[in-house]
A and B are shown apart, each in its own frame.
Chain A
């Protein structure tokens, strides 16, 4: 069956950051250079071709963009300055929007107004909630301090309510993300048509998902290992923070000022350090634009860095203000923390850049499934 080419797809793709996309003349140097490209899953050249020809269905069923960790070797060696690395990055943005069934992802990626508007709306909602609605649910602004001289943060934000809110958020975001992953599975494995994967293989290879989520072994195969290390710190910091906030909030949000060597504080400090270190590398990299990996920044890239940094900074402030008994400063920092955290989680995790935390390990898993696929 012949596939119809679509010259108009490029107009869409351009909005996801595809630059000089026709410059590639398919020498294949990028694919040859790539340490991650392998037989059966070759990229970037093949994927660039699909983009150039506007083959939507073929692009959607591609797992390869997620196997690229953007070391930039392809871009450095490209004889035509076609920037294959950035083309793959753009393709990941496009695919994120294609996995998403709500259509919001596409809106956020292609319209700054929509993205910033969404953030501002939720930020305002959070602030208003704290000021207007939540006090009637027992949220108290009090200058009273604890015996240790710390701020009574649990009176301001009662744990059982915050915990419920955290869980609600987690469930909403997770169900959106899971539904997108199912769509990703449908496009990559189910709809591809040629192959069938047994349930046994699905179960047997599941460990890959966990392993790749935790370690990103593929990232470590890129020639420059430093980014893998800084990314791992960021990732581990974020994961620890996420787990303690959602699952162990009563243990984490305490009014009691614990000794500095207490696990609660140590974990908190480690997570903060991990996040800050990873963020700093990315921010400096994107600002200097020296490394190809960071040379081209989509609006969504900067916005993500800004929001995550703001979250971390306000988080640190809450901690400092709290243990120093600065009550109102703590509350303002807390509200600000939530005002960036909530829209960030809502946008980034299911609809935007951060969704890669799920798509990447799943892509490795799906790739492995494809390898064991039996032709139908």
Chain B
């Protein structure tokens, strides 16, 4: 069977989620591999959420927040950015390619950018192939 990557996306309610909604109302088409989870602020994203997604077999995790300076909660997106940098290093150590975790700023008006982002990320996942982390975890578990 062809590889169909799964991308879990965490979108902040005010900018990115609204931007993704706009892609819908504008009827822009993008790859169906993405599953969006709404959170109030990208600052809410706990590293556990990302790791959980990978553990569950996600091939990629996408985080989208408001552009710097536009955060609905003043500075949650900056906090998210710091965590993201650390997380990328961390997953690399775990054997997950760092390209599998992406952070992008999407404003409420950037429906087009969002759809392009999803398509590009899907393409990246297709070139990377399936994430091996889930299967390797399962092996450990069987032992």
Assess A/B contact in the complex (Cβ within 8 A).
no
- B residues with CB within 8 A of A: none
